[in-house]
């Protein structure tokens, strides 16, 4: 007698659920009509991801409808499946967070992008920051994991405007407690002032503004590449349109010949 293959035991349970999306005129307090909440046993994260994506596709859910994805092991929340099937650690999304599944691949050594913007690291009383960008849009952000205020870790990112003579303007910014995007607090004036002073001091040195100029050149080259891609796309469309036009002319010529031939037999 042939034995049946032993099925893998379900280690986890994943929740499949949804709600109406008000952006689509739906009631967010109710599930979509004809849908139900499900708790599905699964043996691994890959199966949990597939169960969620199948449920999303079967019920034609948008990102604003998806409320499921919680994965539990022995009642303990161990992960959350996002709309695209990626599984994230429990809790709010934070700067630098890596997915649980698929596991991040080791980054292959890639040649450096010659048009990648340069940055400069500058110290402040609260930790180092990075300054970069071009005249059109400069950027200032904390060095990940190294910026703290009164003993609390924060992350931030903001925009700045530079001139050849130095800093023109820097936007006020909020702080992300522990890098969590949903845990935003107003940046104290002392922090705003310290960041502004550090950026202004850096930008007052002409050799540092040369970095912004080099980034401006790279930004223009990126714009040229974008326009060249647009031109290439238009040329392909034009060639296709010319082929269609020639086909129409050939069809008309054939029809005229047919009409003439039929008319000669009337």
111-116: long-range pairs with CB below 8 Å, 24+: 114/218, 115/218, 115/221, 115/222, 115/225, 116/218
When the pLDDT of each residue in the chain is averaged and rounded to a whole number, the result is: 92
CA distance from start to end of the chain: 81
Helix (H) or strand (E) segment spanning residue 78: strand 76-81
User: What is the rounded average pLDDT of the residues 15-33?
Assistant: 93
What pLDDT, in 10s, does the model give residues 54-96?
A: 999 999 999 999 999 999 999 999 999 999 999 999 988 888 8
Cis peptide bond N-terminal to 102, omega within 30: yes
Q: Is residue 5 predicted with pLDDT exceeding 70?
A: no
Query: Which pLDDT band holds residue 108 (cuts at 50, 70, 90)?
Result: low
Instruction: Report whether 79 contacts 89 (CB < 8 A).
Output: yes
What pLDDT, in 10s, does the model give residues 172-202?
A: 999 999 999 889 999 999 999 999 999 999 9
pLDDT in the model for residue 232: 93
């Amino acid at each position: 007698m042939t034995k049946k293959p032993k099925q893998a035991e379900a280690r986890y349970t994943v929740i499949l659920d949804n709600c109406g999306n008000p952006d689509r005129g739906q009631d967010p307090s109710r599930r979509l009509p004809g849908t139900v909440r499900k708790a599905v046993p699964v043996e691994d994260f890959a199966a949990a991801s597939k169960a969620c994506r199948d449920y999303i596709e079967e019920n034609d859910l948008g990102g604003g409808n998806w409320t499921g994805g919680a994965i539990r092991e022995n009642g303990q929340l161990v992960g959350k499946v996002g709309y695209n099937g990626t599984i994230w650690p429990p809790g709010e999304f934070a700067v630098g967070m890596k997915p649980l599944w698929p596991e991040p691949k080791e980054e292959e050594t890639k040649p450096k992008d010659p048009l990648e913007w340069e940055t400069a690291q500058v110290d402040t009383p609260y930790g180092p920051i990075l300054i970069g960008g071009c005249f059109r849009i400069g950027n200032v952000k904390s060095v990940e994991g190294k910026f703290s205020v009164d003993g609390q870790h924060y992350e931030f990112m903001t925009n700045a405007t530079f001139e050849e003579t130095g800093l023109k303007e820097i936007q006020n910014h909020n702080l992300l407690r522990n890098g969590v995007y949903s845990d935003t607090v107003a940046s104290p004036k002392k922090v705003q002032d310290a960041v502004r002073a550090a950026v202004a001091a850096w930008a007052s040195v002409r050799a540092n503004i040369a970095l912004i100029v080099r980034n401006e050149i790279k930004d223009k080259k990126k714009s040229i590449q974008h326009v060249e891609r647009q031109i290439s796309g238009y040329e392909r469309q034009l060639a296709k349109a010319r082929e269609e036009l020639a086909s129409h002319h050939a069809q008309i010529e054939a029809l005229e010949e047919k009409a003439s031939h039929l008319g000669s037999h009337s």
